[in-house]
A and B are shown apart, each in its own frame.
Chain A
């Protein structure tokens, strides 16, 4: 914002779009009166944020706490003691000592009603087929501030519908209220100005430039911040009504940044991922690739525990499959021919259980499998496309295990794989025994003697460590269990028990075993990990990508629980109060 020359609003969501490395000055508090009630508020707050502190909602469309101020929609007009008898925009005017703000006067109410009426002049009768329905600010504000029949007696203006803006985003100009949040986001946050306002007056609409689609890696965020159903996510379009899905917190598995997200699911199916606020990881954004990672949790899953491969494969149920794995491993145990492969997609708990299993069977070699590196940038996207490489290395160190690259797996006779990412399939075929604990069907599971279905990270309790050393929780965020699937540590535990050993009975137990062995984790308890994670200071890197969010120096070990400000719905922080 500072570089766009606009007013910084700060306030409710501090650090908005500022250089992340800055240490914010301690807030100066001022006293204002909102509808007669005294409020202590940050001197950088605007009137909307000041009122929000006591749960008084000033309606707004175009204001977003992290974007510059546009003053486009006029929905936020209120009266203040500074300009009696006049309406001022609550998004743009900042608080000052002793200011009296009136949000309920007839003039304010009349403006809100009039604003809604104008916003709806050309709006199509689309709610029944609009994905935004149920989380649409137009619907909310209409019921709250207008609730009058239409007075339009002329035909509505027709504008382009279903404009494909880019790989993730589709645009409906008729529903657009021209708040320009999307334009400002692309300019100020994504720093790829791919959207613009074209045409004038009532004919104006949002468009991409000729030959330049909206292909930014952050385009999905424009859908989140669009307060109405004008920008829609093509991946989620027509998949589910929003009131049918369950919003549950988790962590994105797309890369090692570990963006905090909500998974929205029904039954065993995830329908979309939405960013969850964490100032020190992803602020309120996430990348487009991350949004699609839930597909691996829905599609091509290993559903049932099975033995055998190819034509002899048989779904035999978890108990017999585990018995078979034990039967295969027992003769080789202690002979030194067994290898353990762990994927960087595993949670710490799965890795810890795998190493426990390795110790039980006297494994001679340990391998690290992972997904190949990918693109990166200086903001959120990291080249390491695995969510937990730091974690696996830390766990391996705790268990005193030396990890080799997965290419060397032909040096063992038998292999137990905790997730199969990056295992060379042609070499797997030569193994005598191959036991796969796997989430998705792939070339590796086709070679397995025993295949045990693993829960996705979105479906299980666990923890991950992101690229800079932030330990973050995951939860069972999907309500229903898919087929035979179980967390990887649970399969390891069952095999361990079959072999006469013992393993973790819960993710918390697996973490406890790990924390006892690891210097970095000692003293931490699984159930007390805060929702937004803990920074393991020993892992902090020296070099930071220029715009990557990072923990505040000094106060960064633990941040309090994330809170939703009064007057916002849970999960609304990310979209600036537009869901």
Chain B
């Protein structure tokens, strides 16, 4: 239409700019790229993202409320399902909170085992993230390599804990099971392959023209802004801010480990990818140091107020059976109090705020999942980008539904 209202008969008018109006589309919750069931309502102007509203809640499990109705140890399986790609890190974070309330120190071997298991979990988590980012940009090979490496490690975790994902492996005062015979060698044998596969991914992606073009300068955020949003973990370090709980506030035996904190410079998708790649190598170093330094000894404290008595005692002595009965039926008695405990999860600072009223069950537990603040910045990260950039940006923040929604 012309300004006069008459039909436009000028054939060249077809080449003039097409007037468009914003269109709203829904992505997810069951879109294959929306890992962790996120629903995203995106308003597009042509190809460009004008606005987006992320909606969570499709993986809500009522973590806090369920915990209040469980004994202190029964909460543990719920923590597996927070960041379900690296459950040992969650187990450790939670148990450290309970131990802080009690004023209890686990055995030294247990500390090393927790760090060892935690760093293997971190490698698995990062492998999943970089595998997926490659996959969704068309590089299926890297995904397969990442999965192969992850499988190798998850098999080791299954041997160690009895489960690949739902491990529930830590215990108040220690861990549930020691390394099985020959396991250390197993692990030492498969670690080089994991590293090799990681290097392979590195070679395939990091200097790949397509990959670089699709990720560099995409989803950029500055360090200050990231801090304002509450970023922690790889997404924060990719902006150049040096904050890693393991170094900033060392816990467990991290102060005895020699490792570096890789940092990015630009805070874009590419940096978030490269940073995770590098962290895998650092975690690999920590795992080896744990194996070298690990002292022999018990894997759990010997105090029947907190740790279950050995089965021989339970079946053979009244003392054992009474302790077992009380621990299972009533739960351990955690002194009344309130703590906040934070550890470095795979995606950033994983915090547990735990309140006890002195009973066998927690009075309240809240989780600071690292994913939630990062996810809330997603609209900011993807705004102005093409719709095709949405997926790699979303991949690079590695949202895990279980920890975002409790």
Give residues in A with beta carbon < 8 Å to B. Answer: 120, 123-128, 133-134, 138-140, 142-143, 146-150, 152, 243
Residue pair A142, B329 in contact (C-beta under 8 Å):
no
**B316 close to chain A: CB less than 8 A:** yes
Given contacts A147-B305, A149-B304, A149-B309, contact A125 B325 (CB under 8 A): no
Which residues of B (364-402) have their CB < 8 Å from a CB of A? none
Residue pair A125, B318 in contact (C-beta under 8 Å):
yes
CA distance in complex: A152, B320 (Å): 13
Residue pair B319, A149 in contact (C-beta under 8 Å):
yes
CA distance in complex: A251, B315 (Å): 41
Residue pair B303, A150 in contact (C-beta under 8 Å):
no
Closest partner residue, chain B, to A124 (CB atom): B318
A142 contact from B313, B315, B323, Cβ within 8 A: B323
**B322 close to chain A: CB less than 8 A:** yes
Residues of B within 8 A of A127 (CB): 318, 321-322, 325
**Distance (Å) between the CB of A251 and the closest chain B CB?**
31
Q: How many residues of B contact A (CB 8 A)?
A: 18
CA distance in complex: A243, B360 (Å): 14
Residue pair A126, B323 in contact (C-beta under 8 Å):
no
Residues of B within 8 A of A120 (CB): 318-319
Closest partner residue, chain A, to B304 (CB atom): A147
Residue pair A123, B309 in contact (C-beta under 8 Å):
no
Residues of A within 8 A of B325 (CB): 127-128, 133-134, 139
Residue pair A123, B313 in contact (C-beta under 8 Å):
no
- 0/1 string, B296-327, CB within 8 A of A gives 1: 00000001110001000101111111110110
Give residues in B with beta carbon < 8 Å to A. Answer: 303-305, 309, 313, 315-323, 325-326, 329, 333
Give 13 pairs: A residue, B residue, CB < 8 Å, sorted on A.
A120-B318, A123-B318, A124-B318, A125-B315, A125-B318, A126-B318, A134-B329, A139-B322, A143-B304, A148-B319, A149-B317, A150-B319, A243-B329
Residues of B within 8 A of A149 (CB): 304, 309, 313, 317, 319-320
CA distance in complex: A134, B323 (Å): 12
B318 contact from A134, A140, A150, A243, Cβ within 8 A: A150
Residue pair A125, B321 in contact (C-beta under 8 Å):
yes
**Distance (Å) between the CB of A240 and the closest chain B CB?**
14
**Distance (Å) between the CB of A125 and the closest chain B CB?**
5
Closest partner residue, chain A, to B324 (CB atom): A127
Determine the main DSSP class of A at the interface with B.
loop
CA distance in complex: A143, B333 (Å): 10
CA distance in complex: A457, B315 (Å): 44
Residue pair B326, A125 in contact (C-beta under 8 Å):
no
CA distance in complex: A124, B320 (Å): 12
Residue pair B319, A146 in contact (C-beta under 8 Å):
yes
Residues of A within 8 A of B313 (CB): 149-150
Closest partner residue, chain B, to A121 (CB atom): B318
Residue pair A147, B329 in contact (C-beta under 8 Å):
no
Residue pair B304, A148 in contact (C-beta under 8 Å):
yes
Residue pair A143, B322 in contact (C-beta under 8 Å):
yes
A143 contact from B315, B317, B318, B326, Cβ within 8 A: B326
**Distance (Å) between the CB of A563 and the closest chain B CB?**
20
CA distance in complex: A134, B326 (Å): 8
CA distance in complex: A44, B315 (Å): 45
**Distance (Å) between the CB of A456 and the closest chain B CB?**
31
Closest partner residue, chain A, to B318 (CB atom): A123
* Closest 7 pairs between A and B when the two form their complex, measured CB to CB: A150-B317, A143-B326, A123-B318, A147-B304, A150-B319, A139-B322, A127-B321
Residue pair A125, B316 in contact (C-beta under 8 Å):
yes
Residues of B within 8 A of A143 (CB): 304-305, 322-323, 326, 333
Closest partner residue, chain B, to A134 (CB atom): B329
**Distance (Å) between the CB of B229 and the closest chain A CB?**
47
Residue pair B326, A139 in contact (C-beta under 8 Å):
yes
Q: Count of A-B contacts with CB under 8 A?
A: 54
Closest partner residue, chain B, to A133 (CB atom): B325
Residues of A within 8 A of B315 (CB): 125
CA distance in complex: A124, B309 (Å): 17
Residues of A within 8 A of B319 (CB): 120, 142, 146, 148-150
CA distance in complex: A134, B304 (Å): 17
Closest partner residue, chain B, to A143 (CB atom): B326
CA distance in complex: A505, B323 (Å): 51
**Distance (Å) between the CB of A396 and the closest chain B CB?**
50
Residues of A within 8 A of B309 (CB): 149
**Distance (Å) between the CB of B61 and the closest chain A CB?**
26
Residues of A within 8 A of B305 (CB): 143, 147
CA distance in complex: A185, B318 (Å): 28
16 further A-B contacts with Cβ under 8 Å, apart from A138-B322, A147-B323, A243-B329, are: A126-B318, A127-B325, A133-B325, A139-B325, A139-B326, A142-B323, A143-B304, A146-B319, A147-B303, A147-B304, A149-B317, A149-B320, A150-B317, A150-B319, A150-B320, A152-B317
Q: Which of B304, B315, B321 has the largest number of chain A CB atoms within 10 A?
A: B321
Residues of B within 8 A of A125 (CB): 315-318, 321
CA distance in complex: A150, B315 (Å): 12
**Distance (Å) between the CB of A228 and the closest chain B CB?**
11
Residues of A within 8 A of B304 (CB): 143, 147-149
CA distance in complex: A123, B304 (Å): 19
**Distance (Å) between the CB of A132 and the closest chain B CB?**
11
CA distance in complex: A152, B321 (Å): 15
Residues of B within 8 A of A146 (CB): 319
Closest partner residue, chain A, to B327 (CB atom): A143
**Distance (Å) between the CB of B359 and the closest chain A CB?**
13
Residues of A within 8 A of B316 (CB): 125
Residues of A within 8 A of B323 (CB): 142-143, 147
Residues of B within 8 A of A138 (CB): 322
Residues of A within 8 A of B321 (CB): 125, 127-128
**Distance (Å) between the CB of A242 and the closest chain B CB?**
10
CA distance in complex: A152, B322 (Å): 16
Closest partner residue, chain B, to A152 (CB atom): B317
**Distance (Å) between the CB of A118 and the closest chain B CB?**
12
CA distance in complex: A128, B328 (Å): 12
CA distance in complex: A93, B405 (Å): 58
**Distance (Å) between the CB of A154 and the closest chain B CB?**
13
CA distance in complex: A553, B123 (Å): 79
Residue pair B320, A142 in contact (C-beta under 8 Å):
no
Closest partner residue, chain A, to B316 (CB atom): A125
CA distance in complex: A152, B315 (Å): 15
Q: Which of B304, B317, B319, B320 has the largest number of chain A CB atoms within 10 A?
A: B319
CA distance in complex: A124, B305 (Å): 21
CA distance in complex: A143, B326 (Å): 7
CA distance in complex: A133, B321 (Å): 11
CA distance in complex: A347, B325 (Å): 42
**Distance (Å) between the CB of A569 and the closest chain B CB?**
12
**Distance (Å) between the CB of A176 and the closest chain B CB?**
14
Residues of A within 8 A of B329 (CB): 134, 243
**Distance (Å) between the CB of A207 and the closest chain B CB?**
23
Closest partner residue, chain B, to A136 (CB atom): B322
Closest partner residue, chain A, to B314 (CB atom): A125
Residues of A within 8 A of B317 (CB): 125, 149-150, 152
Residues of B within 8 A of A142 (CB): 319, 322-323, 326
Residues of A within 8 A of B320 (CB): 149-150
CA distance in complex: A128, B318 (Å): 10
**Distance (Å) between the CB of B389 and the closest chain A CB?**
57
Q: Which of A124, A126, A142 has the largest number of chain B CB atoms within 10 A?
A: A142
Residues of B within 8 A of A152 (CB): 317
CA distance in complex: A148, B317 (Å): 11
CA distance in complex: A140, B325 (Å): 10
CA distance in complex: A454, B366 (Å): 48
Q: Which of A126, A128, A149 has the largest number of chain B CB atoms within 10 A?
A: A149
CA distance in complex: A112, B33 (Å): 62
CA distance in complex: A120, B316 (Å): 13
CA distance in complex: A329, B186 (Å): 87
**Distance (Å) between the CB of B322 and the closest chain A CB?**
5
CA distance in complex: A133, B317 (Å): 15
Residues of A within 8 A of B326 (CB): 139-140, 142-143
CA distance in complex: A231, B8 (Å): 103
**Distance (Å) between the CB of B279 and the closest chain A CB?**
42
